[in-house]
């Protein structure tokens, strides 16, 4: 669960610079734009936020792009490698979230110049830039609180407004993330029902004010309990399936790219699902009132529920149900070599090292871990 305690101090003292450019605005004095305002739409679902000047937003990262899209250079998608993360609002007067997207080969769009593509080296440099905090070297992870600095700042597409490079490899269109606080945890997903999203005729509920219906949840984590798959035979990485709730309502679900969707069979019915609420209305009919979907941006570990794996308990590094001496070397490894821990122990959960329940996995967790060990 997202931990807000202690973050206000970080925000008040300011944040370090991201990848600064010569003509950058004064990011420090720029006010934050609400996600709810950035995603505002008209009565047809088309974005209304003016995209003529830079914006700054803040929120919590919901996913790793690698679990969602193939970012490798030369990937078979139309735009080559693609990268996308979602940032969910955390401020009390805000709601929803925003997708941040970039691609390797904008030049494949026939209306763009042929040199508007990254070469493999420059594409890798772009990936490194958005994956890592420029000041600390921290590798961004779901649950990190970040500031989004969007220079372009983005485009309306498919019923939502994306932070992106406006289909240009010009560095003046770059967007950056600045770390505000690490390892705060994912927000608690909003528990909803399909009746919150669709009417009795199985049609999307659209509210241009975004106070109810599909628009309200866009870009945020949601949880729907007690559903079944209509078409479980399609189960595979990156497949699109459909869930149903027994009332005649259905909803599309995109699976992530994780190996668990190959290693394990789909969960038995009924099951609960946690996913990012997304929209991509690609029927090109001039409006953006359709194309809503759930995106499972985490791997599946065969536990029978489509929900993110959680640590069994703080300090239980090896997930055996107890905090004991076997957890000590694993806890220490997270503190000194987090990347090595995640590589060597893919079945464990680094978040179990967050013992004090506050943002950050660091030396401040040591006393609490020792207390758990001696309990």
Domain boundaries, the chain: 7-181, 190-295, 325-374
pLDDT for 258: 92
Structure tokens at 113: 């110049």
Q: Could you give the CA distance from residue 155 to residue 203 in angstroms, rounded to a whole number?
A: 27
93/36 Cα distance (integer angstroms): 9
CA distance 310 to 333: 19
**Joined tokens for residue 200:** 């009795």
Q: Name the nearest CA neighbour of 100 among 81, 86, 88.
A: 86
Residue 312: the pLDDT is 76
Q: What is the pLDDT of residue 347?
A: 81
- Closest C-alpha to 292, from 214, 175, 199: 214
**Per-residue model confidence (pLDDT) at position 11:** 45
How many other β-carbons are positioned within 10 Å of the β-carbon of residue 46? 16
pLDDT value at position 7? Answer: 46
Domains 7-181 and 190-295 agree in fold: yes
> pLDDT at position 15, please?
53
Q: What is the pLDDT of residue 219?
A: 98
Assigned fold of 7-181: OB fold (Dihydrolipoamide Acetyltransferase, E2P) (2.40.50)
pLDDT at 282: 85
pLDDT value of residue 19: 66
pTM above 0.85, yes or no: yes
Q: Are 232 and 267 in contact (CB under 8 A)?
A: no
Q: Which residues of the chain have pLDDT under 70?
A: 1-19, 22
The DSSP annotation for 278-335 comes to EE---S-SS--S--EEEE--S---SSSSBS----SSTT-TT-SSS-SGGGHHHHHHHH
Identify the architecture of domain 190-295 in CATH: Beta Barrel (2.40)
Dist CA 243 CA 194 (whole Å): 9
């Amino acid at each position: 669960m997202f931990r807000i305690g202690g973050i206000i101090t970080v925000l008040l003292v300011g944040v370090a610079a991201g990848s600064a450019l010569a003509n950058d605005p004064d990011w420090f004095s720029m006010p934050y734009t609400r996600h709810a305002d950035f995603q505002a739409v008209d009565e047809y679902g088309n974005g209304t936020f003016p995209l003529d000047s830079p914006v700054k937003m803040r929120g919590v990262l919901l996913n790793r792009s690698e679990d969602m899209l193939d970012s490798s250079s030369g990937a078979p998608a139309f735009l080559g490698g693609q990268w996308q993360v979602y940032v969910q609002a955390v401020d009390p007067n805000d709601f929803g979230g925003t997708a941040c997207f970039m691609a390797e080969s904008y030049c494949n769009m026939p209306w763009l110049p042929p040199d508007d593509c990254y070469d493999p080296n420059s594409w890798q440099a772009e990936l490194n830039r958005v994956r890592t905090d420029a000041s600390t070297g921290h590798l961004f992870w779901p649950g990190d609180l970040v500031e989004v600095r969007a220079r372009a700042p983005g485009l309306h597409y498919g019923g939502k407004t994306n932070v992106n490079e406006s289909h240009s490899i010009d560095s003046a269109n770059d967007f950056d993330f600045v770390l505000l606080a690490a390892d705060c945890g994912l927000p608690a997903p909003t528990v909803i029902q399909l009746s919150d999203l669709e009417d009795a005729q199985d049609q999307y509920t659209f509210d241009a004010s975004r106070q109810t219906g599909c628009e309200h949840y866009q870009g945020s984590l949601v949880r729907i309990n007690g559903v079944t798959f209509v078409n479980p035979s399609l189960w595979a990485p990156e497949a699109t399936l459909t869930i149903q709730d027994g009332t005649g309502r259905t909803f599309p679900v995109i699976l992530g790219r994780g190996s668990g969707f190959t290693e394990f069979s789909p969960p038995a019915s009924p099951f609960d699902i946690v996913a990012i609420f997304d929209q991509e209305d690609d029927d090109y009919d001039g409006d953006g009132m359709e194309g809503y979907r759930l995106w499972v941006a985490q791997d599946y570990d065969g536990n029978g529920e489509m929900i993110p794996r959680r640590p069994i308990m703080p300090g239980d590094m090896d997930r055996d149900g107890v905090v004991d001496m076997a957890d000590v070397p694993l806890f220490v490894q997270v503190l000194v070599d987090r990347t090595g821990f995640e590589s060597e122990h893919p079945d464990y959960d680094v978040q179990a090292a967050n013992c004090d329940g506050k943002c950050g996995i660091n030396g401040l967790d040591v006393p609490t871990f020792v207390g758990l060990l001696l309990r």
